[in-house]
Amino acid sequence: MNRVVFELLLRLYPRGFRLEYGPEMLSVVERGLAERERLVSRLVFCAVEVCGLIGGAAAAWMGQFQNRTLGAAFAPASREVARLPEEVHEAKARADASLALMLQSIAAQEFEKARRYSAEERKQRLALDRLKEKYGLG
């Protein structure tokens, strides 16, 4: 039940952010919840997390908006990323997320999972290459 609620809240985040940090954030929330046995303590924890996730999602969207519109003036380190078309940015985030999951699986010696993520990463990289070609990004 709690997992479903938090998964829904994570959907408030921009897609790129969610793909990159979503599974990790969910695991942190679940560990925090599992540590609390008393009902009151669980309720307080859930309330804080819900507010934090809503506020965090708003901040992530604001950040994305700033990168798109004011990025050149206020976010010098993200200039190159801000210039990329949205679908290229998302494809890159998906490929990076698959790579991270593959490395995690290897570290955990879950090789079957690692092979799946590796295939997924190859697929995402090919899609990314096609998009780069489409936008002439080399």
* Contact residues for other proteins, defined by CB under 8 A: 17, 20-21, 23-25, 27-29, 31-32, 48-49, 51-57, 59-60, 62-64, 66-67, 74-78, 81, 100-101, 103-109
Tell me the closest approach of the beta carbon of residue 27 to other proteins, in angstroms.
7
**88 versus 101: smaller Cβ distance to other proteins:** 101
Say if CB 77 and CB 117 are below 8 A apart. no
Tell me the closest approach of the beta carbon of residue 130 to other proteins, in angstroms.
26
**39 versus 109: smaller Cβ distance to other proteins:** 109
Tokens 């380190």 correspond to: 77
Long-range CB contact pairs, 2-8, < 8 A, 24+: 2/29, 2/30, 2/33, 2/46, 3/30, 5/50, 6/30, 6/49, 6/53
CA atoms within 13 A on the CB side of 56: 16
Tell me the closest approach of the beta carbon of residue 33 to other proteins, in angstroms.
11
**91 versus 101: smaller Cβ distance to other proteins:** 101
**110 versus 133: smaller Cβ distance to other proteins:** 110
Range list of H helices, 36-134: 39-69, 71-74, 79-83, 86-107, 111-134
Tell me the closest approach of the beta carbon of residue 43 to other proteins, in angstroms.
15
